[in-house]
Structure 1
Amino acid sequence: MKKIGGLLLVSICAGAITLGAYKLLFEKPNYAIVSSNDSQPLFSTNYTPTSALGAGINEVDFTNAAERTVNSVVHVKNLTLNTRRNSVFDFFYGSGGTVTPQVGTGSGVIISQDGYIVTNNHVIANATQLQVTLNNNKTFEAELVGTDPNSDIALIKIDTDDKLPYLAFGDSDNTKIGEWVLAVGNPFNLTSTVTAGIVSAKARSLDTRSNQSFIQTDAAVNPGNSGGALVNTNGDLIGINTAISSQTGSYVGYSFAVPSNIAKKVVNDIMEYGNVHKAFMGITPAPVNTRDAIKRGINDIDGVYIEDIEEESGAEEAGLQLGDIIKKIDQIEIHKYPDLSGYLGTKRPNDTINVTIERNEELLTLPVILRERQQLIVPAMGMEVKNLTKEDQKRFRTKKGVKITGVPELYRGYGLEGKVIVQVDDKEINNISDADTAFGSISRYGKTIITMLNEKGERERLIFQ
């Protein structure tokens, strides 16, 4: 018994010594210091509360922007009749074939109380019937007002006696990388759906030939979102969602929108003129990421290096020179060519822009009057065409069409150069604007019939797939 009592006493003493040593040597005191002032006491503590979601994110409110947007975004359904030709005679004479109806869906944004709606060209391309469903489930037949395949923007209209909720175009030039945005659309045939993300990049180009300028975001965009709204937290329309970068066809982290300033200019041109008037500066940029660019030391230049200047263009008249580096246009900084092409996409012929260039390590600012372009490289096939001169019209015995002046290597065996294109599929070609639209509408999955004139005035037809 004495033995057990002795062991218990030793254990208690050892525990007391251990606890005392811990308190003395290891534990840090947490004091509450109270000032002698009779006003509010001051507390100092080791524990600082933090947000589990990260600093500042709880201050962002998406609800007002979402409420303003969802009722202005519509569901667009198009019916397309696809004709499958059964023989080569069907292509030349338009007879026979099997007609198959196909339904496509997308989104659109109401931009006026009287029913004008902006959407993507690829949402309504080749449609024989258009149908629009509002967020309140009311459905209307829509008519096509005009399109611009190059920017992938289309304008449609519905007729209703009610005043519709709408979104006004914001200023996409003021959009900042890292800014919160909402993507609103109708993915997978659902009603208006809101997703959030940030602006990942600006002036992003997906096609080196077209140098289109997109806003890139990480807001989730899926099939059916095309033509929907990209808005900031104030509810301002800063873009029209148009594409995703994905090998599966579904969202994987990158989505792209046409900047609102470009979409607004396209819509205004369609409403005022019936087509899009494109402004042309008259410079050719040096290609980047090539062996020649690296050898010449211009691959890493911050700005646009002028490789060539077109005769009688605004750039030539303003005194721009080969080797000049464009650093800024008006108040827009230029780091790469999509910065330049994106800003020019908001301008019209005869507009004046102030171009800041670097020449011999000095900065100069020159006013440039933009002109209407006389030649361009058409989408899809990449051929260079130009408007007909009076001499061309006399030689080919036509006042309509465009002359082929350059052919990519892929098509050089067809004898195209020097001939005049007068029709693409069923679209008549009067000038390079018509050619731009017609080639921009070509489907990569179908066949294209190009009707041309040779110097004898004879018609030739070529079928490309």
Structure 2
Amino acid sequence: MASGVTLGVYKLAGFDRSEIVLQEAGNGENGAVVRFAKGGNAGTPVDFTLAASMSTPMVVHIVATQKTNQRASRGRQVPDIFREFFGEGGGGSFRRRNQPSRSSGSGVIVSKDGYIVTNNHVIDNAREVDVILNNKKTYKATVIGTDPSTDLALVKINAKNLPSIVLGNSDNVKVGQWVLAVGNPFNLESTVTAGIVSAKGRNLNMLQRGQRGRISPIESFIQTDAAVNPGNSGGALINTKGELIGINTAIATPTGTFAGYSFAVPVNIVKKIIKDLVEFGTVQRAYLGVYFRELNGELAKQLKLDITEGTHIDSLVVGGSAEQSGVKKGDVIVDIEGKKIKGSSDLLEAIGRKRPGDKVRIKVSRNGKIKEVTIKLKNRDGNSDLVTKKKATSFRTLGAEFAELTDAEKQRYDISGGVKVSKMFAGTLRSMTDMQEGFIITEVNGKKVSSISDLKSALSSSNSSMVTLGGVYPNDPGQRYYAFKNK
């Protein structure tokens, strides 16, 4: 029977940004440190009680409530090989229009003031997110931001002096070392399972399919044989020191339950996503500007190359980072900043940790010789600018992120101005209206708006008990209106 990849898919956003203090491990090796009984077999671990007791207080239970509408239900029609990696409310069932549904998963406390990392699919499309701590206290969470490209999300609760996990170094993780998976499978809170790292750098091609090609996925999973089931999503993968080395995200299974292997996002990617979301509210994605294939023996023979590992550059983005730095079509990337690049997952992870404007040293094999090149990375728009809060403004209460229209968009949609709803998260718009991402707001209570400042002003000055937003959807004729209670 062919096995599929278990995948969950969900979304959210916005909170007041502040500096986040993360506890990171030192630069020492993160390999397994297992204690053995005196005189015992050195190949048999005695217990994992220390690591388990250290980590379970930092792993939380997350319950997300979605308002399912007709469009959202259609979005859950995924291929049969994909089974949703949710807890309660999963399984891809269809519900009546606007009937709330619930899903559950796990999360990891990464700062004492309430920041919690989880999977994007755990909270995607949620209108409310509840966090239940290990001591049974329950909090309403606000979503800081999401990143479908890595299937990560960051939420925050209003709490202080929380136990927070130490972030390890996934580069030091070794195949064969012992690890623990901590989470809430099947709503069984604070569950710990053990296994070993089976492989590193796994690319499952699940995020591309799950998001229907709308994202640039970064997949370089840590593969383990620790038992992970629905509800573990967003939970911790830790080493025997109790340090976080990954966020459990998916399982390979023909049934929807654990069948031998689970997959976690490496913590070094997690660190970068957390810092971006706190500082900017959105992820700063850097691009190398190449189209590539993973090299293997067959491709190497076809191309008459004398190496069989790396990523072969099939073509270059015109004006992209790589082209402007002297990289050529046919080069094989074999090293990035001292890290050997064996395949596409290694390349995606290495670049995924960078921001636009960062410089990276890469080594390429060209005509049998190794050449080192320094590349200044760009963003998707072809420059080195970071996406600032001004460019991607979040309104926390509304539960949406807004962007001003470019001149090209105004011309394309044949409108003089407006504000685009670029992302929607838990908040008023999702809970009280059927608005969808992409809606362009052109008026508030009949008053024309052309910019984010216009929108803020109109909302703050409204004295009506109801707010009515008017606007259009791109390529969908007709004015639409959404009304909600003015809090």
Band of TM-score, shorter chain: 0.5 to 0.7
CA distance, structure 1, for counterparts of residue 250 and residue 301 of structure 2: 31
Query: Which structure is larger by alpha-carbon Rg, 1 or 2?
Result: 1
- The 1:249/1:294 distance shift into structure 2, 3 A limit, reads farther
- The 1:233/1:292 distance shift into structure 2, 3 A limit, reads closer
Residue 313 of structure 1: how far off its partner (Å):
1.4
- The 1:391/1:98 distance shift into structure 2, 3 A limit, reads closer
Matched, 1:262 2:269: yes
Q: Helix, strand or coil: the match of 1:131? A: strand
| TM-score (ref. length: structure 1) | 0.67
| 1:85-124 pair list within 5 angstroms | 98-124=97-123
Q: Helix, strand or coil: the match of 1:219? A: coil
Conserved 8 A contact 2:337-2:361: yes
Q: Could you say which residue in structure 1 is the equivalent of 2:66? A: 80
Q: Could you say which residue in structure 1 is the equivalent of 2:200? A: 202
Conserved 8 A contact 2:293-2:344: no
Deviation track 1:12-68 (CA, whole Å, cap 9, x = no partner) reads xxxxxxxxxxxxxxxxxxxxxxxxxxxxxxxxxxxxxxx9xx953335652221111
Conserved 8 A contact 1:108-1:229: yes
Pick the aligned partner of 1:66 from 46, 52, 56: 52
CA distance, structure 1, for counterparts of residue 137 and residue 126 of structure 2: 21
Deviation track 1:377-425 (CA, whole Å, cap 9, x = no partner) reads xxxxxxxxxxx997676566578999xxxxxxxxxxxxxxxxxxxxx97
Q: Could you say which residue in structure 1 is the equivalent of 2:322? A: 315
CA distance, structure 2, for counterparts of residue 100 and residue 116 of structure 1: 30
Deviation track 1:197-253 (CA, whole Å, cap 9, x = no partner) reads 111111111117535221111111001000000111111111100101111110001
CA distance, structure 2, for counterparts of residue 300 and residue 287 of structure 1: 12
- The 1:392/1:125 distance shift into structure 2, 3 A limit, reads closer
Matched, 1:354 2:361: yes
Conserved 8 A contact 1:178-1:198: yes
Deviation track 1:303-355 (CA, whole Å, cap 9, x = no partner) reads 01111111221111211111111111002110111110011111111111110
Instruction: Return the structure number with greater relative CO, CA threshold 8 A, min gap 6.
Output: 2
The one-letter code of the counterpart of 2:61 is: H
Residue 427 of structure 1: how far off its partner (Å):
1.2
Q: Could you say which residue in structure 1 is the equivalent of 2:5? A: none
CA distance, structure 2, for counterparts of residue 185 and residue 174 of structure 1: 23
Residue 102 of structure 1: how far off its partner (Å):
1.1
| TM-score (ref. length: structure 2) | 0.64
Conserved 8 A contact 2:310-2:332: yes
Q: Could you say which residue in structure 1 is the equivalent of 2:345? A: 338
Q: Could you say which residue in structure 1 is the equivalent of 2:142? A: 143
Conserved 8 A contact 2:114-2:156: yes
The one-letter code of the counterpart of 2:225 is: D
Q: Helix, strand or coil: the match of 1:326? A: strand
Matched, 1:283 2:269: no
Pick the aligned partner of 1:235 from 236, 242, 250: 242
The one-letter code of the counterpart of 2:180 is: L
| 1:112-191 pair list within 5 angstroms | 112-160=111-159, 162-191=160-189
CA distance, structure 2, for counterparts of residue 295 and residue 272 of structure 1: 46
The one-letter code of the counterpart of 2:199 is: A
CA distance, structure 1, for counterparts of residue 172 and residue 478 of structure 2: 51
Conserved 8 A contact 1:452-1:459: no
CA distance, structure 2, for counterparts of residue 134 and residue 166 of structure 1: 12
Conserved 8 A contact 1:183-1:195: yes
How many pairs were matched up?
A: 345
Gapped regions of structure 2 (runs ≥ 5) = 1-36, 72-95, 209-216, 383-404, 421-433, 441-471, 481-487
Q: Helix, strand or coil: the match of 2:167? A: coil
Q: Helix, strand or coil: the match of 2:53? A: helix
Q: Could you say which residue in structure 2 is the equivalent of 1:368? A: 375
CA distance, structure 1, for counterparts of residue 120 and residue 315 of structure 2: 32
Q: Helix, strand or coil: the match of 2:175? A: coil
- The 1:305/1:182 distance shift into structure 2, 3 A limit, reads same
CA distance, structure 2, for counterparts of residue 76 and residue 186 of structure 1: 9
Conserved 8 A contact 1:105-1:189: yes
| 1:38-49 pair list within 5 angstroms | none
- The 1:234/1:328 distance shift into structure 2, 3 A limit, reads same
Q: Helix, strand or coil: the match of 1:286? A: strand
Deviation track 1:176-211 (CA, whole Å, cap 9, x = no partner) reads 111111110011101111111111111111117535
Q: Which moved more, 1:209-218 or 1:126-135?
A: 209-218
Q: Please provide the CA RMSD for this pair.
A: 3.5
The percentage of aligned residue pairs carrying the same residue is 45
CA distance, structure 1, for counterparts of residue 223 and residue 299 of structure 2: 29
- The 1:282/1:460 distance shift into structure 2, 3 A limit, reads farther
CA distance, structure 2, for counterparts of residue 369 and residue 400 of structure 1: 34
Conserved 8 A contact 1:453-1:460: no
- The 1:451/1:202 distance shift into structure 2, 3 A limit, reads farther
Conserved 8 A contact 1:286-1:293: no
CA distance, structure 2, for counterparts of residue 211 and residue 293 of structure 1: 24
CA distance, structure 2, for counterparts of residue 175 and residue 371 of structure 1: 30
Deviation track 1:55-105 (CA, whole Å, cap 9, x = no partner) reads 5333565222111100000010111121248xxxxxxxxxxx732121111
Conserved 8 A contact 2:295-2:309: no
Q: Could you say which residue in structure 2 is the equivalent of 1:411? A: none
Conserved 8 A contact 2:294-2:311: no
The one-letter code of the counterpart of 2:155 is: I
Conserved 8 A contact 1:289-1:299: no
Q: Could you say which residue in structure 1 is the equivalent of 2:25? A: none
CA distance, structure 2, for counterparts of residue 365 and residue 72 of structure 1: 43
CA distance, structure 1, for counterparts of residue 321 and residue 479 of structure 2: 36
CA distance, structure 2, for counterparts of residue 401 and residue 101 of structure 1: 28
